[in-house]
Amino acid sequence: MLWLWVAAALVLSGCSTAGYYAQSVRGQMEIWRESRSIEKVLADPVVSDEVKNKLRLALEIREFAVDELGLPDSGSYTDFVDLDRPYVVWSVFVAPELSLEPEEWCFLVVGCVNYRGYFAKQDALDFAQRYAEQDYDVYVGGVPAYSTLGWFDDPVPNTILGYADEDFAGLIIHELAHQAVFAKGDTVFNESFATTVERIGVARWLTARGSLSRIGEYQRRKSRDDAIVAMVLECRDRLEALYSSDVSDANKRIEKRRLIGELKDQYTKDTSKWPAYWGYKHWFDNPINNAQLLSVATYNDLIPAFDKLLKKYDGDLSRFYQAAGELADMEKSQRKHALDTL
């Protein structure tokens, strides 16, 4: 996910947003203050072998991402930071009760984004509560890693050390992909592009390691994730049609509850066939609403288009990045039209 609040804080001012920018600066300063180079951590006798092995893996993944995937050779992921919390930041998604048009917040550097991030969970919950009291749908989700687009050297955070190796690799590749291509003010484009690079990158990394059995398991798990995402997006589309209809608001609320109930039932039914599959379980354990549905769409809506674009160039990542960069330079409406044609 993209986070560039510090840069925004340096160029924007205003009493109504001063507190938000202040927490952004404090959070980023904490990361800088607590970061240590991975080489120093590896030489520290106090650090556990488990942590050291994961950090050696991070350096290996970073090298592969630069040398084999053509991602930027910045100073990112050469440092480590232990923040002593489960997530680096918490993002807040907000949408009207009977609409799937997300609330957006705009910054000079990154443009408008459809989430708002906080380094402290309580700050995120307090912000979400203010909208909930106005009858908006809200969703607060923890974010384990972030990218500052190369403006700063992003460290490996403690929040991802417990991930399986392929998911650990995926997060590093995903965040580095944000440094390769970025479209100002288009969250769905940016996250869908990075997720596409993440998936092909992990598959190629596992192949290079000779982990053929892990590739099969990784792709099987991702195909199940895709099935769940498709289910969620279908519910989103049905709700969108409902909200634009002439049905009364009271009946829209009733139908909204029914469609979301069907989505939960379908998830339970489908995942019961997949032993040991836990994907999206925490997501479905929450009370699902419009804001939560938007959080999934943000990362997945354009993946089919990017998959076709990558196939067009026969998997050549350098040409794929160039084409994606050209799309990123377009006006948003023009870019949307170009992606729709894919």
- What is the layout of strands, in order, in the sheet containing 79-81? 36-37, 79-81, 156-157
Q: Residues 79-137: pLDDT tens digits?
A: 999 999 999 999 999 999 999 999 998 876 677 888 899 999 999 999 999 999 999 99
304: left (phi over 0), alpha (psi -120 to 50) or beta: alpha
Q: pLDDT confidence of 38, banded at 50, 70, 90?
A: very high
Q: Mean pLDDT throughout 71-82? A: 96
Gap between the Cα atoms of 135 and 158, Å rounded: 36
Gap between the Cα atoms of 132 and 85, Å rounded: 26
What backbone phi and psi angles, to 5 degrees, belong to 24?
-65, -45
Virtual torsion, Cα 201, 207, 209, 214, nearest 10 deg: 90
Residue 74 in this model has a pLDDT that exceeds 70: yes
Gap between the Cα atoms of 158 and 89, Å rounded: 12
Name every residue whose Cβ is closer than 8 Å to that of residue 82 and which is 6 or more positions away in sequence. 34, 157, 158
SS3 (DSSP) at 115: coil
Q: What is the pLDDT of residue 7?
A: 43
How many Cα atoms within 13 Å fall on the side-chain side of residue 301? 17
Q: Residues 5-20: pLDDT tens digits?
A: 444 443 333 334 677 8
Give 118's strand partners: 90
Burial 27-57 (b: 16+ CB within 10 A, else e): bbeebeebbeebeebeeeeebeeebbebbeb
Q: Two tokens at 250?
A: 């009271």
Max CA distance (Å), the chain = 67
Q: Mean pLDDT throughout 251-259? A: 98
Gap between the Cα atoms of 272 and 275, Å rounded: 7
Q: Two tokens at 193?
A: 């592009």
Gap between the Cα atoms of 262 and 284, Å rounded: 12
Q: Mean pLDDT throughout 167-184? A: 95
Q: What is the pLDDT of residue 113?
A: 83
Q: Mean pLDDT throughout 169-174? A: 96
Residue 323 in this model has a pLDDT that exceeds 60: yes
Q: Residues 229-249: pLDDT tens digits?
A: 999 999 999 999 999 999 999
Q: Is 269 exposed, middle or buried (0-12, 13-18, 19+ CB in 10 A)?
A: exposed
Q: What is the pLDDT of residue 187?
A: 87
Gap between the Cα atoms of 216 and 214, Å rounded: 5
Q: Residues 209-231: pLDDT tens digits?
A: 988 888 989 999 999 999 999 99
Q: What is the pLDDT of residue 9?
A: 41
Q: Mean pLDDT throughout 156-163? A: 96
